[in-house]
Structure 1
Amino acid sequence: MSLSVPCFLLQGPKVRLMMMQEQKAAVFIQAWWRGTLVRRTLLHAALRVWIIQRWWKQKLVKLQEKRRRTSLEFYARQEWAAVKLQSWFRMWCIRLRYCRLLHAVRIIQVYWRWHSCHTRGFIQGHYDLKENQLNLQLEISLGSQACRVQQCIALPIKE
């Protein structure tokens, strides 16, 4: 049966002290290296988190912009529809007023023409155009006097 004993225990105290210092230095270097690896891993993770957050913020900004644009277009369409409806209503009111005025003007014209006809005189007549002649009948009124003219005019026909 053999016992395994570390070699530094078999050597002198100076060698043991030096080996323990080397071991402590190795442990220190390993701890430093592990810490560096952990810090590097944390830095990479933080960068990935930052990239994902930037991407998500851009997506949110685009989504908000799309919603804002959609609501603005909806508002613009509603405003346009309201303006169109108001213009149609104004047009209807003006057209109704115009028709009433036109009716009043026609009534005034009828009475004016009747008055003008009875006070000043007028010319009234009709004509009939046939193949080679024009039949013309005119009645000229001047107050209480009337003159009737009836004439048949031959039309020259080129053959």
Structure 2
Amino acid sequence: MAPSGFSVTKSRHRWGPASAVATPDPSPDCELEALKSRRRQESSQRYKVDQLQDMAKKDNDETILTKQKQKKERKKAPEHPPQLSPPEQKPPPNKAVAATKIQAWWRGTLVRRTLLHAALRAWIIQCWWRQTLARLLTKKRRAALDTYARQTWAASRLQAWVRMWRIRRCYCRLLNAVRIIQVTWRWHNCHTRGPFRGSYELTATHLRLQLDIFLGSQICRITDCIPFPIKN
């Protein structure tokens, strides 16, 4: 007979596919809670499997003990027992009831074995599926991290190039303005406050130069007329 508190419906409820697969929470805040719940489920399933194995072992031990007892009783029973005074006649046992009890016990043992094998297989499949889900989740996270890193790197490079171009443009404008200011200031300083001042006059036959050199409070003036060589 099958032990009390053990039925096919309960085993289906415990090891059914609805309670087997637990979809992981992709949010990073609930990872610890998901891991704790998975560990609790695995420990509870292992405890149940151990209970089923113990029950199967007990059933096997009981069957072995009953068989050994029957063999011993058969050996002890003599082939030709001595004729004694006839004891009080007891009512003959009902063989049909005994046969039904034995059949029920044997069917219960077979059902327990099949349920144990099914539970072990379901547990193995659940462990494998959870490992595959964890691997897929890690792959997705790595891919997302790689894409995010590449996007941030590209955005930073573009921002750096744009900033460099803007700063270079401002620098070039400032440099051009500084050069213009320097050239105008040098030209003004050379024509007004420099130590040299001069003028020239160019004609078809000669070049007339006049140069004034300021030496403190004195002025030195140099004039010269340079004729051009004329070739016939």
Q: Superposition pairs for residues 1-159 of structure 1, below 5 Å?
A: 17-18=92-93, 20-21=94-95, 24-121=97-194, 142=214
Deviations 1:29-61 (A, max 9, x none): 342133123212212211211211221122022
**Once superposed, which parts of structure 1, at least 4 consecutive aligned residues long, lie more than 6 Å away?**
none
1 or 2 for the larger relative contact order (CA 8 Å, sep ≥6)? 2
* Contact 1:122-1:142 within 8 A present in 2 as well: yes
> What residue number does 2:84 align with?
none
TM-score, normalised relative to structure 2:
0.43
> What CA RMSD, in Å, does the superposition of the two structures yield over aligned residues?
3.1
* More strand per residue: 1
- Give TM-score scaled by structure 1 length: 0.60
Distance 2:155 2:110 in 1: 67
Q: Secondary structure at the match of 1:17?
A: coil
Structure 2 unaligned blocks of 5 or more: 1-88, 197-212, 223-232
Change (3 A) 1:62 1:36: same
> Relative to 1, partners in 2 of residues 1:122 and 1:105: Cα closer, same or farther, differing over 3 Å?
farther
Q: Which runs of 5+ in 1 are unaligned?
A: 1-13, 124-140, 149-159
For these two proteins, the number of residue pairs brought into alignment is 117
Aligned-pair CA distance for 1:63 = 0.7
